[in-house]
């Protein structure tokens, strides 16, 4: 690629609008049923032509970790196209780590999709998703993004169109919650049946009343500030309030930005972001 130029792309966060754990698998992992929603909050990835691959980031913890998800994604694609133009990747992080917002998975998927095009590998979406599964359970979602129901460990995906407009108020506590820890605390007796599309959508509306996140019963007794914060938001005009993934990010769903801004003003001392779903 002799005339390659630097390219910047957005790598979006996601929230789990709803999440149930449906069973524990023989391999120790858990099957789940979740509604992924890609959102406007994003990191930025810059790709520059280079002599050899290199990775830089403004986040020190990732900068010293040679096994970060971006590098894993790059090496996977390099195995398919070993003699292609090397790229230097610079990641500007805005999505908090350990907040349940899928930033690392999004970054990895962005690398896969960029190299698939830049190196003219031309894998289909389905083949990119299969490749993504080897990197992380949330990575396949970001190959297509937008709104999808996920099952299995998150790799079985079904696109869904939500019939209503809404605005998302993110609240980002300065807490890092281990997903592995949260799963370890789950009691298999509390498993629930998977979500059905006709349970989530009915008569042209979103049934917010059936939404839940089972990680809350694990996380809230330990992180009681999050439980109190959810209750505070729930007392407002929010249509729904939930934890994203295993947390620590909380989100409220509102009809419009005005309602979301009013609640954000009430949450002095918390970092808040108002964003929208990617459709």
Segments making up each domain of the chain, as ranges: 7-159, 167-275
Is the CATH number 3.30.230.10 carried by domain 7-159? yes
Cα distance between residue 55 and residue 43, in whole Å: 15
Q: Is residue 140 a contact partner of residue 154, using CB atoms and an 8 Å limit?
A: yes
pLDDT score, position 61:
74
CATH architecture of 167-275: 2-Layer Sandwich (3.30)
Nearby residues of 113 by Cβ (< 8 Å), 6 or more positions away: 128, 143
What are the tokens at 62?
């990732």
What are the tokens at 131?
């490749």
Closest CA to 93 of 66, 70, 123: 70
Quickly count: other Cβ atoms within 10 Å of residue 266's Cβ.
12
pLDDT score, position 210:
97
| Sequential DSSP letters for 180-192 | HHHHHT--GGG--
pLDDT score, position 1:
43
Cα distance between residue 207 and residue 194, in whole Å: 15
Active-site positions read: 14, 138
Q: In tens digits, what is the pLDDT along the chain, a chain of 279 residues?
A: 445 689 999 999 999 999 999 999 998 889 999 999 999 999 999 999 999 999 999 987 776 666 899 999 999 999 999 999 999 999 999 998 888 999 999 999 999 999 999 999 999 999 999 999 999 989 999 999 999 999 998 889 999 999 999 999 999 998 889 889 999 999 999 999 999 999 999 999 999 999 999 999 999 999 999 999 999 999 999 999 999 999 899 999 999 999 999 999 999 889 999 999 999
């Amino acid at each position: 690629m002799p005339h390659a130029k630097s390219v910047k792309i957005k790598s979006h966060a996601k929230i789990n609008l709803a999440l149930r754990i449906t069973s524990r698998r023989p391999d120790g992992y858990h099957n789940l049923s979740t509604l992924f929603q890609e959102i406007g909050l994003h990191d930025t990835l810059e790709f520059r032509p280079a002599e050899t691959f290199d990775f830089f980031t403004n986040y020190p913890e990732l900068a010293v970790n040679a096994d970060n998800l971006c590098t894993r994604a790059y090496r996977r694609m390099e195995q398919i196209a070993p003699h292609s133009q090397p790229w230097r990747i610079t990641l500007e992080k805005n999505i908090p780590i350990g907040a349940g917002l899928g930033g690392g998975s999004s970054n990895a998927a962005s690398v896969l999709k960029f190299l698939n095009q830049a190196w003219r590998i031309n894998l289909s979406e389905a083949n990119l998703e299969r490749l993504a599964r080897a990197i992380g359970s949330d990575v396949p979602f970001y190959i297509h993004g937008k709104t999808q129901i996920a099952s299995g460990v998150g790799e079985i995906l079904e696109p869904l169109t939500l019939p209503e407009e809404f605005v998302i108020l993110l609240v980002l506590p300065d807490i890092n919650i281990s997903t592995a820890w949260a799963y370890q605390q789950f009691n298999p007796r509390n498993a629930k049946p998977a979500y059905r599309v006709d349970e989530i959508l009915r008569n042209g509306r979103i049934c917010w009343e059936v939404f839940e996140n089972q990680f809350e019963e694990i996380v809230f007794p330990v992180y009681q500030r999050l439980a109190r914060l959810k209750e505070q938001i729930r007392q407002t005009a929010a249509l729904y309030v939930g934890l994203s993934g295993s947390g620590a990010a909380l989100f409220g769903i509102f009809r419009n930005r005005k309602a979301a801004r009013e609640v954000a003003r009430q949450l002095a001392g918390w970092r808040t972001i108002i964003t929208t779903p990617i459709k």
